[in-house]
Structure 1
Amino acid sequence: MTSADAPASRDEILQSIEEQTEDLCHIHDHITRIITNLDIEEDWFSGYDDPGRAKFELEPMVRLFLYKYARELNQSELARRLSGAAYVYLRLGFDRPVSQQIISHNKRQRFDPAERKLLRDAAEVIRTVCSEHDVIRTNEPALDPADVQHDRVNEAEIMDAVKRATELGFREFSADRASNAKYPLEAYFERQGYLNMSRAGTTTASRRFARLSERETVPHGSSHNRTMKKVANPESQLTFDEFVTGRQEPEWKRIRDEVLEPFHAGVENILDELTDDDYDNPGFREPVHAAIDITAWNFWASPFMSEKKVRKSDKTPIKVTIDGKEKLLDPDHPDLVSGLKDSDERGYKFATITIIAENTPIVLGVEPVRDQRRWEAEMGWDVERTSRADIVGSLLEQASRHVDISKVFLDRGFSSLETRDVIDRREHLYVLGKPARAQVDKDHIDEIQEHDVYDSRIVHGSQTFDGREHDITYVYTPSKKDEDKYAVFTINEHVDHHRAEALLGQYSQRMEIENEYKTIKKHFLPTSASKDFRIRFLYFVIGTLLYNVWRMANFILRDAVDVDLGEHPPILAGELIELVAFCLFDPGG
């Protein structure tokens, strides 16, 4: 036997466990998911001399004991956790819960004393590294016993619900690929579904994907980005309008159009299901209330190059001036990355429009945001950007493909005459936050503060844009965030105090879109450092569809759950990750 073929030593195994755990802590937020994503080499543990006698594979059993010792559980606690916390046993690699007797038998018969000590030491390494990264958790993603009637909802029903929702959301995507491609596109979308939901990156080791997949062979990760780029690749041929005018649409807009068509087909499938006649109470009723907002996906690379970096690079930087100072701009810095609220952060921005209120919250449209960067403004560059009015107009157009909208709620970041005009021309009622910058706003707020009785005020007026005029009501009310300040809202109707109060109560439902963004970012976006807008936009759209799938699956299970729509979903977002990744997407490598 050569040294290359020799089994790994105890120290080598512990070092590998430590390095893997360190890497996984940057991807996962729970020690359980760290353990389930470890690569366990075949020669680390011997197992039975006669593996045919084993009821369970060796590797899941190794993970089980790593889980037991890392979580500091005794055997009875471990058995209860496997049967009581939904799908923990699936994450570890079992097809059913494992009893206390089987745990005890495998500990004695499957691992010799040295291996049992190795398991304890490895678990201690995992626990220490996880503690340093603050990913130690005492709970598991699980169905809440207070919300779910366990005698009425079972695993088979949940699996069927998510399978149905997943099929509806993803079956419309396609790519221009060779007819003799080795793997079908579905294999790559299975892997992408896993990446989105496990917050993994496309460079993640592929053995885990291959192990989970039901396919005989799976595609290699090196081809993944190339294939997904083809899904988002726009037609190179000019449209008739572009040919006539000689002005071609920016590449990012063509990518948007390419990706959004299958997205909207998936949305339409889901909405058809939500209103199916088989359901006594449909998933939504029209006209709907909708919220519009913008979220960001961070991009950490700086747009600027230092003199030292320029000397070491073969790039030719672009000289720009900001605040009178010359800076060197990286020519490869992505066009659609712009500054965020925190001055030192940058990212890709995406706007969405979402059904809110009593209806099932489904995202109806996605729009990339192209803001002008400071150096572009100061240098006077002519760039294709998206105004907030353009964004709102596009999102309302996308949503109108699917539903009738009654009211639209937006925060003050969208406040402009043009945005109000865009919504009013579509005959939607809007409630839109407004910065209290104008002197008239300050005067009204001063009068309220000086009044002995009233702490709010409504003022009727009108607004004119491009020759069009519509009624408007200004509402001044104490801020919910700061009692000493006042919030200003505009409504495109003349309403009385009672109507205004009711509309502001509905406006608070707009916060559902903030929860949407938190869920998508936490559960449904992969790790990516890609500069390619095709990849970023496609992955965000896939994450948004997964959010819709999650909401759809919970609607299907609604009749088996003793809660109202909008309350705690019977399938948690983290749980859907496990269901789809382990059971439905058959994630490939």
Structure 2
Amino acid sequence: MTATDDQDHRDEILDSIEEQTEDLCHIYDHITRVITNLEIDGEWFSGYENPGRAKFDLEPMVRLFLYKHARELNQSELARRLRGAAYVYLRLGFDRPISQQIISHNKRNRFDATERRLLKDAAEVVRTVCSEHDVIRTNEPALDPEDVQHDRVSEGEIMDAVKRATELGFREFSADRASNATYPLEAYFERQGYLNMSRAGTTTKSRRFARLSERESVPHGSSHNRTMKKVAKPKSQLTFDEFVTGKQEPEWKRIRDEVLEPFHAGVENILNELTDEDYAEAGFREPVHAAIDITSWNYHVSPFISEKKARQSGKTPIKVTIDGKEKLIDPDHPDLVSGLKNSDERGYKFATITIITENTPIVLGVEPVRDQRKWEEEMGWDIERTSRADIVESLLEQASRHVDIHKVFLDRGFSSKETRDVIDRRGLLYVLGKSARAKVDKKNIKEINDHDLYDSWIGHGTHEYEGREHDITYVYTPSKKDEDKYAVFTINEHVDHHRTEALLGQYSQRMEIENEYKTIKKHFLPTSASKDYRIRFLYFVIGTLLYNVWRMANFILRDAVDADLGEHPPILAGELIELVAFCLFTPPD
């Protein structure tokens, strides 16, 4: 190979690394994740003369040195990092941490001088691109020494904590399966942990999972799908109310009821642990503050279908009129997929209620959201939808199974007289955002703008709904997002400005639920194109339970870490998924 060929080969490799890194930076939020998901061509590094004698595969070793140079670690720091509690070696593809001597040996003997320079240059490309996308973090993969009371949180402590938390959260799930089934249900939940870990789909090839699992064999993707559908399959018999009225509940509600029972059993187990007398002081105290909000899981298939595609598929499309134009709707488009905030996006929606506390924000309830689609509204169809008041009532009912609630925080998407009445009838205090659309709102805001001394305003009134009445305070305060606008809140008591400031300060903790959604969607949801609501709802509930397990595992480790678990959990969310995949259940001997 000529010098020109060598240079062309080097440039080709660096271009591939750069292109892959650019793509991965849009998916992952940390440089370690980017490196572990790079595709490494075995032909790039072929200077080693005895590959058959190598104790470690080439690809993990390449990732190891990319990681070392990109994170600017020396060999001693790298070895300590691999021995830490963060399981970086598993991400890189090793089955155990490797010593400094092994790292040094592989550097000298596994790669020639040209390849060692190439590794450094490739790592520089990764670091530069990750820096441009702001996905370089310094709090990963191991704990900072000043955060740990002893030498470090040991692997044993991590494993014990996760095993305990997953035992509490997942042991109640079951499925109606044959007694001679090839794999126990635990094997499928173990595989589900892997799918979440790798953000993979259920049909993803399982070679890596099979290699990592301690089982002799692992379930196939098609078998996995069928089993998970059975976990979420509602019971076929009618309830007493359905038998009397002759009207059966929509299937999505029956799926909800089937999946939420084991979910709530897991929540109760976790809360019992958190409120144990040994933990109570560090956990939370009742009555609690709770936040309610809605998140979405995108579904990218359009509801519209062309006449040609309908003929080819043999479907009979549904004719609807939207904005005066006739369109065709795919009859197989999922009922629970509706429009999102961005006009061109659609997805499944789920509402949750979460304890708002610094160290242990636990999700207490999940509720499907069935919104009316635009064509259903324009055609005047009578469809089963969930009002925001119904959602709030259901979530409060779910949460009441576990804890006593004192205050509820909601954003303006829930603002309605019916919602306020639902909360007030339960004797709870609410702080609820409100859109400044009414004439009186515009009048009050104009009065604030015209005044020279104050920039906020508090007013008292009453709220009436179906003959029930309660006191209400209206609060107008400068928006934190836009200085020229005002945020409006309602509180179901007459409160003065001192109490108002305190309540709005507590309301700001509601943003923890936004972080919750980001964590669930980034780390605890697999890739899925399924339109089957059994799969979608079950996977979201499992993701929510995994979030609770993550919080629980970090809580159990609180004695080992002298740090604020809410801000810097010793187990990162992504790490927990890996641990779930490896030790959620212990395979039989």
Amino acid in structure 1 at the alignment position of 2:536:
R
C-alpha change, 1:255 and 1:394, in structure 2 (3 Å) is same
- CA positional deviation for 1:357: 3.3
Mapping for residues 464-475 of structure 1, pairs under 5 Å = 464-475=464-475
Structure 2: distance between partners of 1:389 and 1:98: 56
Which of 23-32 and 180-189 deviates more? Answer: 23-32
Pair 1:80-2:82 in alignment: no
Partner SS for 1:480: coil
Partner SS for 1:347: strand
Mapping for residues 472-491 of structure 1, pairs under 5 Å = 472-491=472-491
Q: Does structure 1 conserve the Cα–Cα contact (< 8 Å) formed by 2:60 and 2:94?
A: no
C-alpha change, 1:510 and 1:29, in structure 2 (3 Å) is closer
Pair 1:271-2:271 in alignment: yes
Structure 1: distance between partners of 2:75 and 2:63: 11
Structure 2: distance between partners of 1:541 and 1:325: 38
Q: Does structure 2 conserve the Cα–Cα contact (< 8 Å) formed by 1:148 and 1:570?
A: no
Pair 1:344-2:341 in alignment: no
- CA positional deviation for 1:197: 2.8
C-alpha change, 1:119 and 1:577, in structure 2 (3 Å) is farther
Q: Does structure 1 conserve the Cα–Cα contact (< 8 Å) formed by 2:315 and 2:331?
A: yes
Which of 84-93 and 266-275 deviates more? Answer: 84-93
Which of 235-244 and 195-204 deviates more? Answer: 195-204
Q: Does structure 1 conserve the Cα–Cα contact (< 8 Å) formed by 2:145 and 2:151?
A: no
Structure 1: distance between partners of 2:72 and 2:564: 38
Amino acid in structure 2 at the alignment position of 1:336:
L
- CA positional deviation for 1:136: 7.5
Match of 1:7 in 2: none
Structure 2: distance between partners of 1:409 and 1:299: 28
Structure 1: distance between partners of 2:71 and 2:260: 51
Match of 1:449 in 2: 449
C-alpha change, 1:462 and 1:561, in structure 2 (3 Å) is same
Amino acid in structure 1 at the alignment position of 2:293:
D
Structure 2: distance between partners of 1:280 and 1:98: 40
C-alpha change, 1:284 and 1:136, in structure 2 (3 Å) is closer
Structure 1: distance between partners of 2:126 and 2:147: 35
Partner SS for 2:326: strand
- CA positional deviation for 1:496: 1.5
Structure 2: distance between partners of 1:70 and 1:509: 36
Post-superposition CA distance 1:184-221 (Å, at most 9, x none):
00000001112123211112221111111111111112
Q: Does structure 1 conserve the Cα–Cα contact (< 8 Å) formed by 2:359 and 2:555?
A: no
The normalised TM-score by structure 2 is: 0.87
Partner SS for 2:469: strand
Which of 167-176 and 487-496 deviates more? Answer: 487-496
Post-superposition CA distance 1:158-200 (Å, at most 9, x none):
2211111111111110001111000000000001112123211
Mapping for residues 455-534 of structure 1, pairs under 5 Å = 455-534=455-534
Structure 2: distance between partners of 1:181 and 1:129: 48
Structure 1: distance between partners of 2:354 and 2:35: 36
Give the alignment's Cα RMSD to 1 decimal: 3.5
Post-superposition CA distance 1:38-60 (Å, at most 9, x none):
89999999996886xx7xx432x
Partner SS for 1:471: strand
Q: Does structure 1 conserve the Cα–Cα contact (< 8 Å) formed by 2:79 and 2:100?
A: no
Q: Does structure 2 conserve the Cα–Cα contact (< 8 Å) formed by 1:354 and 1:362?
A: yes
Match of 2:404 in 1: 404
- CA positional deviation for 1:383: 0.6
Q: Does structure 2 conserve the Cα–Cα contact (< 8 Å) formed by 1:365 and 1:398?
A: yes
Structure 2: distance between partners of 1:183 and 1:113: 46
- CA positional deviation for 1:74: 11
Post-superposition CA distance 1:428-477 (Å, at most 9, x none):
00010111111111112222222222222221111111111111111111
5+ residue gaps, structure 1: 1-9
5+ residue gaps, structure 2: 1-8
Mapping for residues 173-192 of structure 1, pairs under 5 Å = 173-192=173-192
C-alpha change, 1:586 and 1:93, in structure 2 (3 Å) is farther
Mapping for residues 89-108 of structure 1, pairs under 5 Å = 89-106=89-106
Q: Does structure 1 conserve the Cα–Cα contact (< 8 Å) formed by 2:290 and 2:409?
A: yes
Q: Does structure 2 conserve the Cα–Cα contact (< 8 Å) formed by 1:67 and 1:123?
A: no
Q: Does structure 2 conserve the Cα–Cα contact (< 8 Å) formed by 1:193 and 1:587?
A: no
Partner SS for 1:89: helix
Structure 2: distance between partners of 1:208 and 1:126: 28
Structure 2: distance between partners of 1:438 and 1:134: 42
Amino acid in structure 2 at the alignment position of 1:367:
E
Structure 2: distance between partners of 1:389 and 1:33: 41
Amino acid in structure 2 at the alignment position of 1:285:
R
- CA positional deviation for 1:100: 3.3
Partner SS for 1:223: helix
C-alpha change, 1:331 and 1:89, in structure 2 (3 Å) is same
Q: Does structure 1 conserve the Cα–Cα contact (< 8 Å) formed by 2:168 and 2:269?
A: yes
Match of 1:6 in 2: none
Match of 2:285 in 1: 285
C-alpha change, 1:385 and 1:484, in structure 2 (3 Å) is same
- CA positional deviation for 1:391: 0.1
How many correspondences in the alignment?
570
Structure 2: distance between partners of 1:144 and 1:68: 22
Amino acid in structure 2 at the alignment position of 1:563:
A
Structure 1: distance between partners of 2:201 and 2:133: 21
Partner SS for 1:557: helix
Identity %: 76
Match of 1:252 in 2: 252
- CA positional deviation for 1:582: 4.0
Q: Does structure 1 conserve the Cα–Cα contact (< 8 Å) formed by 2:70 and 2:127?
A: no
Match of 1:382 in 2: 382
Match of 1:372 in 2: 372
C-alpha change, 1:581 and 1:205, in structure 2 (3 Å) is same
Q: Does structure 2 conserve the Cα–Cα contact (< 8 Å) formed by 1:431 and 1:491?
A: yes
C-alpha change, 1:395 and 1:192, in structure 2 (3 Å) is same
Partner SS for 2:378: helix
C-alpha change, 1:129 and 1:347, in structure 2 (3 Å) is farther
Structure 1: distance between partners of 2:458 and 2:543: 41
Which of 148-157 and 408-417 deviates more? Answer: 148-157
- CA positional deviation for 1:107: 5.1
Q: Does structure 2 conserve the Cα–Cα contact (< 8 Å) formed by 1:82 and 1:88?
A: no
Amino acid in structure 2 at the alignment position of 1:63:
P
Amino acid in structure 1 at the alignment position of 2:482:
D
The normalised TM-score by structure 1 is: 0.87
Amino acid in structure 1 at the alignment position of 2:413:
G
Structure 1: distance between partners of 2:461 and 2:247: 41
Amino acid in structure 2 at the alignment position of 1:276:
D
Mapping for residues 214-363 of structure 1, pairs under 5 Å = 214-279=214-279, 281-358=281-358, 360-363=360-363
Structure 1: distance between partners of 2:210 and 2:251: 35
Which of 66-75 and 409-418 deviates more? Answer: 66-75
Post-superposition CA distance 1:364-395 (Å, at most 9, x none):
00001000000000111111000000000000
Match of 2:580 in 1: 580
Amino acid in structure 1 at the alignment position of 2:254:
R
- CA positional deviation for 1:564: 3.7
- CA positional deviation for 1:230: 0.5
Q: Does structure 2 conserve the Cα–Cα contact (< 8 Å) formed by 1:194 and 1:585?
A: no
Which of 198-207 and 184-193 deviates more? Answer: 198-207
Structure 2: distance between partners of 1:303 and 1:482: 36
- CA positional deviation for 1:283: 1.3
Post-superposition CA distance 1:518-542 (Å, at most 9, x none):
1111111111111111111111101
- CA positional deviation for 1:361: 0.4
- CA positional deviation for 1:120: 5.9
Q: Does structure 1 conserve the Cα–Cα contact (< 8 Å) formed by 2:194 and 2:578?
A: no
Which of 137-146 and 454-463 deviates more? Answer: 137-146
Structure 1: distance between partners of 2:143 and 2:49: 34
Partner SS for 2:348: strand
Amino acid in structure 2 at the alignment position of 1:153:
V
- CA positional deviation for 1:358: 4.2
Post-superposition CA distance 1:227-279 (Å, at most 9, x none):
10100000111111101101100000000000000000000000000011223
Q: Does structure 2 conserve the Cα–Cα contact (< 8 Å) formed by 1:288 and 1:404?
A: yes
